[in-house]
Amino acid sequence: MPGMNVLDNIPKVRFHEPELNLPGRLSGLLNEEEWFTIQFARSYIERQLAVHQKSRKDNIVCVRQVSVNGFGIADLVSISWESRLDLNHGKLVSAEEFLLNFKPTIRAFEVKLDNWRKGMIQAHRYRFFSNAAILVLPADKVSNALRYIETFKKIHVGLWSFNPASKKIIAYYSPRPSSTIQMKHTVKALQKMANASKVLPISQKP
């Protein structure tokens, strides 16, 4: 429930957030959108192979609030890869080596409780560092955006809905993963996620 100090097992990239210093903002409390994002992330991790039925990538890591200079802050970024490609047997590698050897799929999600137009524009920017960008809306708020599904397809931004009560994810349109537009930003995003998650097989850097 929004405002509750819930158990948060979806790591978050740490950076300076001025709003945390505003009156009325209590440390450890989640706002409604943060709560929704965490519930979505948990359901997505549990159901990723059902959502991506043709995928063989059975490992997944999700990190919240991934900031990439010039392209905003993605509410959630997931990295998935195949276990069989871990030829290093758990040995840590650089972000560049991870991209080359593990061939991960990086999906950046923008989560909005309303204002889908703003969310679509924000998600579109994430294509510079991710293989696929997706807007996630509450199930009861997706109908207006669905009227413009052809626009989502034209700019290669996915449109999904999520119902926290049923944990159901509906993928109305999922763009086919493609090469990232600017690899240097992909490497930076991966490094931030590795430092935040502590479980990616990527060497941490200060």
Is 206 a member of any domain? no
Q: Which domain holds residue 62?
A: 31-197
Model pLDDT, residue 8:
53
Which tokens go with 194? 């590795």
Split into its structural domains, the chain has a count of 1
- Return the bridge partners of 61, or none: 79
CA atoms within 13 A on the CB side of 131: 15
Binned average pLDDT, 10 residues per bin, the chain of 206 residues = 48 52 48 95 93 89 91 94 78 92 95 97 95 97 97 98 97 95 91 89 83
Q: Answer whether residue 15 is part of any domain.
A: no
* Inside any domain, residue 133: yes
Could you tell me if residue 204 is inside a domain?
no
Q: What is the largest CA-CA distance in the chain?
A: 50
Long-range contacts of 84-89 (CB under 8 A, 24+ apart): 86/201, 88/201
> Residue 29 has what pLDDT?
67
Q: What is the CATH number for 66?
A: 3.40.1350
Give me the pLDDT at residue 28, please: 54
In a domain, 202, yes or no: no
Q: Say if 118 falls within a structural domain.
A: yes
Residue 114 inside a domain? The answer is yes
Q: Would you say residue 40 lies in a domain?
A: yes
pTM: 0.87
pLDDT given at position 140: 96
Would you state the pLDDT for residue 15? 43
